[in-house]
Structure 1
Amino acid sequence: MADARALEEVVEFTRDLVRFDTTNRGGGDGNEREAAEYAAEKLAEAGLEPVILEKAPNRSNVVARLEGTDPEAPALLVHGHLDVVPAAAADWSVDPFSGEVDADGMLWGRGTIDMKGMDAMMLAAVREWAREGVRPRRSIVFAFTADEEAEAEYGSGYLAEAHAGLFEGCTEGISESGGFTFHSGGMRLYPIAAGERGTAWLELTARGRAGHGSKANPDNAVSKLAGAIARIGAHEWPLRVTPVVEAAVAELAALHGVEPDYADLRGLQEAAQLVESTLRNSANPTVLEAGYKVNVIPEHARAEVDGRVVPGGEAEFEATMDELCGPDVAWRYAHRERPLTAPVDSPTFAAMRAAIQRFDPEGHPVPFCMSGGTDAKQFSRLGIAGYGFSPLALPPEFGYGKLAHGVDERVPVEGLRFGLRVLEDFLRNA
């Protein structure tokens, strides 16, 4: 069990990591170097031999391996990203990179939830083991990555492509977006991710005949594109229930005392939020670009669409986009990552359940599928099955999904300490 020093260090490390401005603005604009050096230093002090790896200057990743006691056991990857999404200081109650702890025991700052708190737990657990002379049963590879908040080109994608040997023997991995408290129907649920919808970011283009805005022009690129975007926005995607979502709905329905009903999730109360976005494919128009003057019909029009695809839904997604765009609008993948699924009946999933229930006996761990994605997509190229498990205790008034990427992101200090206890217990016993 996490000792007193580890429980203090997890708070200290979270504060320190928040104070490194690792904002990822996309397009290669980011700098994780100082945070990576910090993590590497803490790992080295615990007796590990971390390496810092970069595809481009200052886009830094850290990888270190801790050998387990059972050489026959498959290795486990534990990964967390160091970059964060932008934070507009004028919108925040505090400096988003202050790492301030207030009188109510809240630790404030960009990344406290997504996901420097988990990074701190990883460091604190390793250091506790070093003090106690503990080695886990399974060998563990710890990875602190860059660029997760963009396309992972400089982070997990680079590591999986250029440094696959560092992950030799890893069959499973854990990372963000699971194991946090979710309150529903007076119960404390702990959703553990065993799947992710695939990423399908699209670029749509239409070409027409340029001309004067006062003249009749049936070959208008803007009109063509607007029609396709309207069809995409209005499309009702059919139900596609994957095994992970089926397991999630079954457990949530049983806990809420109702029968599973995919067409009407109201019986799941607040917990409907955990599954409603993963029952089908989706495509949301997000960007429109066309024209440069009100009286000029442009030759080109462009749009971007955020598509997400359930496991097994790729063919349906592509056929539907062909139909909705029609002959006058072309579409292509601007960025694409595969959907993921991992077994919910594995010993690893059972160990995650057990670790949560050991520290919250009245809590209910449940499987779910993420609507978005994580670095697990890139590591899946190495045959690593990914789970979302970054445990965190949150009070009823908190919402994990609202605070991650949101204004005034913050985390309860005691929630971090709970997370460390659960994570350390799982890693020791997995």
Structure 2
Amino acid sequence: MTLKGRQPELPSIMLNSHADVVPAGAGNWIYPPFSGHIDENGNLHGRGTQDTKDVGIQYIEAVRKLIQNNSTLERTVHITVMPDEETGGHRGIVPFVDSEEFKSLNIGFALDEGFTSQDNNMYVTYQDKRPWQVKFIIRGNGGHGSTIANGNVMEGLQKFLNIVMEFRNEQMQIMNSTHAFDYGEYTSVNVNMIEGGIAPNVIPTNMTVVMDMRLSVKADVNDVEAMLQSWLALLGDESSMEYIRRVENSPATAVDDSNPYWMAMQETLKELGLNVVPLVCPATSDMVLVRSKAIPALGFTTKTNMIPKLHDVNEYIDLSQFLKGIDIYESILKKLGNLP
């Protein structure tokens, strides 16, 4: 969706969000995750309320208010809604940024989803951590469920989990020793899927383990690759490894006076009496691909004083915060859209 500016030849503003959400696991929610239930405290419960249907709707409503108030912008504004963000953007932002349509938008600056705050601060993310999602297929001896023999596949699984948890504990120590929100200093790692087995009385011959890593900004990809290969070697020649997702580069957008878009945002929020803190995004967004095209891009959300529930059960949004956020985006767009 496009709101044409008075000088469409100027670089445009991209307001991006994604429409897809992760599975909900409905049985664990207080309220059905797709019911849009509003509780007595004015909280709207549902999958996507924090990640990230709220931001997309706020964009639309902020632009609607600009039109209703006869506010004119010099720059053109594009609202883009991506599919497939949660699984890597391979059917969304990945092909889109290489398309002629994307080039024709003449984007000079982009905004995308941000990070929920538990205090009065608002966060702006200027760089994303690089996602490495890796599938290990651990192989070993099978047989009858009554036997106890060396080389059982579960021995390999236990060995692998021990290795991963040892590395995870090392990264947690780095996390605990650094500044409170310095997400870029450590690599996160979690085993999120374990699959295998065919019957209660049959020892399986293979187990599949899917691991999700988000690399620190300082991590060298060759070192990480060598580490994973060393883990694989410990599992034996029959085991194998494949990448589900592997992003090697994640450029940063400047958050200083060299970036007029950032300065405009910062000035607007200051005028509104709001404090904004720049940080590295602990996860990964579509902006990895946008920044790779040398386009400055920031992740931003107006959600404050809320419990972060991204990908968690009982995801919710405070409706008063949501409505206030529309006005904040309207003010930001006036400033960004009229940058000379």
The residue number in structure 2 matching 1:306 is 212
Contact kept, 8 Å, 1:311 with 1:341, in 2: the verdict is no
Which SS does the other structure have where 1:235 is aligned?
A: helix
Q: Matches of 1:320 and 1:423 in 2, distance apart?
A: 43
TM-score, structure 2 normalization? 0.83
* Aligned partner of 2:75 among 110, 132, 138: 138
Cα pair 1:98 1:109 within 8 Å, conserved? yes
- Per-residue deviation, 1:198: 0.9
1:169 maps to which residue? Answer: 106
Aligned to 1:339: 250
Quote how far apart the aligned CAs of 1:297 are. 4.2
Number of residue pairs matched by the alignment: 327
Superposition deviation, residue 162 in structure 1: 4.5
In the superposition, relative to structure 1, how do residues 165 and 388 fare at CA in structure 2: closer, same or farther (>3 Å)?
closer
How far off is 1:416 after superposition? 1.5
Percent of residue pairs identical: 23
1:196 aligns with 2:128: yes
Larger relative CO (CA 8 A, sep 6+): 1 or 2?
Answer: 2
Cross-structure match for 1:422: 328
1:323 and 2:230 matched: yes
CA 1:212/1:85 → structure 2, altered by over 3 Å: closer, same or farther?
closer
- Once the two structures are TM-superposed, the CA of residue 237 in structure 1 deviates from its matched residue by 7.8
Separation in structure 1 between the aligned mates of residue 319 and residue 140 of structure 2, nearest angstrom: 57
Among 12, 21, 25, the residue aligned to 1:75: 12
2:35 counterpart of 1:98: yes
Following superposition, the deviation at residue 421 of structure 1 comes to 1.7
Shift of 1:211: 4.2
Q: Secondary structure at the match of 1:149?
A: helix
Q: Deviations over 1:381-425 (max 9, x none)?
A: 544333111223x33xx31x2x33333332222212221122111
Deviation at 1:283, TM superposition (A): 2.5
* Cα 1:93–1:209 shift into 2, 3 Å: closer
Q: Deviation digits for residues 147-182 of structure 1, max 9, x if unmatched?
A: 22333233323423445436542133111124x543
SS in 2 for 1:104: coil
Q: Is the 8 A contact 1:157 1:379 kept in 2?
A: no
1:375 maps to a residue whose letter is D
Match of 2:154 among 222, 225, 232: 222
Do the aligned partners of residues 358 and 418 (structure 1) sit closer, same or farther apart at CA in structure 2, a change above 3 Å counting? Answer: farther
User: 1:287-298 maps to which residues of 2 (within 5 A)?
Assistant: 287-293=193-199, 296-298=202-204
Is contact 1:84–1:114 with CA below 8 Å preserved after alignment?
yes
1:93-141 Cα deviation digits (max 9, x unpaired) = 4343333444533333332222222112111122222233333233222
Of residues 118, 133, 136 in structure 1, which corresponds to 2:55?
A: 118
Deviations 1:34-73 (Å, cap 9, x if unpaired)? Answer: xxxxxxxxxxxxxxxxxxxxxxxxxxxxxx2333334554
Once residues 262 and 35 of structure 2 are traced to their aligned partners in structure 1, the CA distance between those partners, rounded to angstroms, is 36
Return the alpha-carbon distance in structure 1 between the equivalents of residues 73 and 35 of structure 2.
34
Query: 1:366 maps to which residue?
Result: 277
Unaligned runs of 5+ in 2: none
TM-fit CA distance, 1:90: 4.4
Q: Is the 8 A contact 1:146 1:154 kept in 2?
A: yes
RMSD: 2.9
Cα deviation for residue 201 of structure 1 reads: 0.5
Give the TM-score of the pair, scaled to structure 1: 0.67
Q: Deviations over 1:174-221 (max 9, x none)?
A: 11124x5432xxxx2211111111111101123344445666754444
Distance in 2, matches of 1:296 and 1:101, equals 48
